[in-house]
Amino acid sequence: MIKILLCCGGGFSSSALCHKVEKEISENNMQNDFFIEFSAFALIKKRINEFDIIVCCPHLIMSVNRFLKNSNPDKPIYILPPRMYGLISFKELALDVIDIIDLYNKNKINPVHFPREENTMMITRNVAYRNSKK
């Protein structure tokens, strides 16, 4: 089971997204494969070891960079592309989560991003990276 912590600034937008995603996980019988919880990013230090990956809302780019200057977590941190965040589909997010964990395990660099997606705010896809390349 992959445990995902979905973070936003105060926990409000991630809470709404998380409820939508939890429903999709249940409807698609993915409960044995994925667990998702939401949190304010400010609580990341306390919660990071409970999860396999930290997925952050796009507006947290600066907060993530500040956090990484002072910390070197052994967990992948992924910043969602803006359109994917707004139109979230768990099936698509799940594919990115699997691929991000794999990328992180290969190079141990945070935040993790896909090739040619270094500038998160310029990403226009709303599907998983692997599906956007078809």
Phi–psi pair at 7, nearest 5 degrees: -115, 145
pLDDT at 134: 62
* pTM, rounded to two decimals: 0.90
CB atoms within 10 A of CB 70: 7
**Amino acid type, 52:** D
pLDDT at 18: 66
Q: Which residues contact 122 (CB under 8 A, 6 or more apart)?
A: none
Q: How confident is the prediction for the chain on average, in pLDDT?
A: 89
Query: Minimum mean pLDDT among 52-56, 71-75, 84-88, 102-106: which range?
Result: 84-88
Fold of 2-132: Rossmann fold (3.40.50)
What average pLDDT does the segment 71-100 reach? 91
When pLDDT is cut at 50, 70 and 90, the band that residue 115 belongs to is very high
